[in-house]
Structure formats: structure tokens, C-alpha cells
Structure 1
């Protein structure tokens, strides 16, 4: 009989290297290693050879960067998604794409299961499995860290390193980097290790080497840099007059943001599984794009449409963070978001300076801003009669006066 096939989300780190070998031995299965290239850069070097040497029968390293930018980052930014007011969801938004491609490979290879190295305490296990369930309910999921047998075998890092050495698995594990990272086109995250102490100052001068995508704002250029981003229907399409596809736009904005120390966030957030965790994030290009998009909306989006969309930001952000990208409610919300973006077109000018993204101008051929109406001088259009405001105020004050009268009587 042919062996069972399992598709493993493989990063080449200690955990997934151990898991690859352990799955092969425990399930007597054929392991297909899959790595999504979503912008990890040098982290991908040598992965194929390493996976094959560890026991994988086949290795997929798929360049998904353009799809990531176009079909995941851009739609999410149109929605104004911002988790708990700070986090631009860099790790969260990558997981549905990885799950989608894993399922496609599993089906193409005739695999019956997919596997991942996410721990039983984190968000990623939920994201991988909920997104996979939404598009491939027939495929089972193996999560070794939730299996007692696996945890008994590997109660700590020392046991994992010893196992790797005994099986000839090349791994790099040291105290030189006392935290874990996750990098992609949108951001890089830092968590665990020394960062589990929320009093630990990640921005201190002695920790400058931790950050990979941006210079310390204090070390950024002393002169501001002006840029212009052109939008069409809510999507950034050109930078300083140069048309750019989503991938190249994100790469360029990352370079600019990193140069000026933009996009660092240090926060304690609420994981979906119930605990609080501390995360440090670098999102240089995303921070620029998020700010520019909001400024473009300010001049082109109807007030009530914006209010409705904004009222759904928390819900949308939670859906992304918690792993419901392919859920029907997120798809329904996205349809509303897409409708809201039809006139979000024009150009935004920004000033980048020492960690700040400062608005420096906005214009649009479909602008809802009318200077003749907004002016504090005489209105040449005579479309707004200031005397009308008196009745407007009286009507809005009516319920307040009634409520105040009742409260005074009850004192």
C-alpha cells in the first residue's frame, strides 16, 4: 500500500525540522514540505536541500508575494483593519494564504492531511486550521504540539536539539537571539524570550540590533522626505509618478519607511485563545500605506459610508486576527468595503520624518471637498445658509432638553 502523504508547513527552523522527521517516523508517512515565499528574504536560503536531507520526499517553495500583496494586503487595508488600535495584522493576514496553498498542494498530491508547527498556546494554530476548514473540510490537520506523545518526547528545547543532533538535522539554536521572529512582505514580528517581560525596553539603544527593517527613528535622516502615492478605487497604483504593481509598491514603501524609522509598534495584545501576549512589530511600508489610504478616503468618501465602514473595523480586524478570512461574514464585509472604495481615487502627498508619516496634501478628481462651500468667507454658490443652522440645532437639542428637564424634576 502507498504511504499516507502529509503536507507540512515548513520554515526550516528547529521546530518544523524536528516535526518533519517526527511525523515521518510516527505516522510512517511521506512528508511533503511546503514553504510559502511571502517575503522572508534570506530565511529561504538552503531550505529545499535542508528539507530533503531531513526526510521530505518533495519540497514546494512557492513565490506567493504578488498574490499576498494584491489579494490579501490590499483588500485588508481598504477595510482600514487595525487590531486593538495598533497592530496592522502582518502575521495574521499571511496565514490564510499559506493555508490556501497548503490545501491546493494536498489535493494535487493526494495527501490526506496537512500539518503545522504552531504551538497550542498561540493564534497561528487557530488561523491555519479555521482557514483550512473553510476551504477544505475533508482534509485533516495534524498539530504535533497539541499531541501528548510529542510533548512527552520534547518537553524542552534541549531535547529537541539533542534529537536533531542524533538524527543529523542541521539546526541553529542559540541564546544570541533570545526571541522569535516572523517575517513577510508586510512586517516582521518579535515575541517570546526576553520580550515576555512587558517592562523590557525593546527601544533601548542596546537593543537596536534587534530591528531588521527600520533604523531607529533617532538615527533617521535629519531632513524630511516627501512622497506622493496615487490611488485608484482604494488601491495604491503609483509612487512619485511611477506606476507600480502591489508587490513592488510594498517593497518600495518598505525601503522608504525603513529609511525613516517608520512603523514600529510595541504592544500587549489579546490572543484569540484567551491570554495576553507582548509583541513588537516593524511595519514600515504598511504604516505609510495605511496612513495614505486614510487620507485619500478623507476627501473622497461620503461621511455616512465612512461611518458605516469604520463601525465594522473592529469586527473585520478580529476576523483577520482570529483566522476567519475565508468565513462568509468576512467575505460579506469585504463586499461592502469594495463598494465603499469606488471613488477613493486621487493623490496623497506625505512627509516622512523620524518615525512619523505626516500628511502634506491630498487631491482628487472626485473630491467631495468643496472650498466654495467650506470657506469662512462669503459663499459664492449660496448653497449654505448659515441661518438654517439655528433650526438644525433646535431639533437636535430637543431630546437633550427633555432629558435634562426630567433629570431636574427627579433630583
Structure 2
């Protein structure tokens, strides 16, 4: 039997495959990997799709004898396929039902190896009827149940499930480490199924998250016409992400794909807290207030809107964090990341953001304003923040 995928009875939630040109080398390395994988305590079970000790019947054709009797090798193989492979021939359609026509020998005539001797084959010219035992010999043997392939190369696939509390990230790191030590350069190993999806998605999402932060910085820089105010706004993100990851750690949830989606949502929700504070402080600076008073007034006046939007988002994500609904357990990481990140950022943002704002304002006025390229850009009133502050203090 030649199979292009995993056999159904060996399926697990996650899969890891090994393939190469030399089948004997593939099987030998697979045995070594299996021995190492069984030492990992996080596997609920691990098995392969290779069953090397399956009872088989080894049939050897007498090719010279067949040619002498005028019977081709293809005709012999066709006989065996029609007799034992449940060959589908035709579909009979009726008014209310339809029936498949399948050609095979009766069950009572294929229970023992000796039943092969009861088959007869007609010669190519149709004149002679020869028993199969005159054209082939057979003997019991032990061999593989199937010959599995990936991309037309012999392969062995490992299927495993994880124990409760074990994470796919840790299991994937262990498998990658063992494969790096055991698998030679002539063979190829890779994750399949959910494990492959998780590994690729994690790598891509981290890159996408960095790109999202960069895009947010560019948009905020255009909005505020400043290099430093976007940094103040984005300073709310690390505390929120730490809070989301801490929530996963406290409740024992893994950083699944849902958790990464929650991080993206968290970044968008938390960023608006920084925007509310910084935008209000900039408006106060334009009226002549100094940086300390402006950021203080912004934190006090914007506290109620920030608290209201945060509570609305927390209560909206709370049912997800509690795992309500069909398949709610798989979505819990998403809710925990949002709730944990919002709660932590709510308590820390109002203390950290003003401090960062004041330090960056000092850096802007005392360092960047000395060069024309980084000097604060005039706002719609026609004057920069530094100029406004100078006017408020007089000559």
C-alpha cells in the first residue's frame, strides 16, 4: 500500500515528519527519534505511522514460466487487484437509491494464504486457463503495513497529544532540539498539522506585531508632527503586554494563536489611553501651560474617559476569559490577555506615561531643538511648543 498521508488510526493533534531518499536511513533515524521523544514528560502519547511487524504475504512471480505460457506480468497483477482490493466497477442508479458494483472474491475464499491457489488466470490470447500457483509462489512474511510518502519521498510521521498543562511551544522546542542532534543533513524533518501552523504563525505574528508598532509610530508622528510624542503614546504597550502575559501565567493558559490575537487587540485598546493623555497635554501646552502642569491636568481630566473605556472593554472580554460558550476553553487565552493587560495598564499608565512625557519633553527642548532637523514643528497656531512656553514666561 502506498499512502500520501497519515493513516487514520495513528492521528494525533500534532505531527512531526521525517523524510529522505534512503528509506532504510529514514526508518533507522525514526527509531532513534522515537526513543528520545518517549523521554519527554509532556506527551500524553506519541506514536508513528510505521508498523514494521505487520504480517504480510510475500508473492514471488515466476516470470519465465509466465512468459512461456503467454501470460503477461500486468495480467497477474490485475488479477490480484481485482480479487483482493475491492475494485469499484460501476454505479447502478435507481429512482430512490444507488448501488456500487465492487468486484472481489468471497470472504470464505480469501481467509488463508492457500486460497491464492484457487485463483485462475487466462492467457493473453484467451485460449488457456492457468492456475495462479503455476505462475507464482508465496510465503508468510513480516513487513511494513504501509509505505508512507511526503513529496514522493519515504517518510515516517510522529503523532502526539499533550498532557493538560503542557504547552505546544515547549514540546516543539524539545522536538527541534532532539531533531537537530539526531537527524543527519541527508534527511529532512518538519512539523505538520497544528504544530506547523503554530510555529509558522508564531514567527509571522511576532514580525507582524513589530510592523504594527512601527506603523503606529509613523501615523502618530505624522499626527503630532513630532518624533517623541509617539514614543510617549506607545510607552503604554509594554505594560499592557506584560499584564496580558502575566494573566496567562497566573491562570496556567498557553500562549496560543488566540492569545496572539488578543495581544493585537490589546495594543489597539491600550494605545488610546496614551493618545488621550498626550493629545490633551499638547493642547494645554499650546495655551501656555508648562509641561508639568499640562501633563498633570491631562491625567486628571482624562481619567474618567480612560476608566470608562477600559471598564467597557474589560466587561466585554470577561465572558471570553471565563470560557463561556461553545469551545470557550480554547478562547480563554484571548480574553485573559485582554482583561489582564487592561487591568495592569489602567493602574500603571497614569503613573508611567506622565513621567515618560516629561523626560521626553526635556530631551526635546534641551537636545533635539538644537538641531533644525529634529526641532519641534510649529503647530496650527503657527508657533512651536517651545516658543509658546517662552512667551508664557515673558522676556
TM > 0.5 fold call: no
TM-score, with length taken from structure 2? 0.25
Higher helix share: 2
Bigger Rg over Cα: 2
TM-score, with length taken from structure 1? 0.24
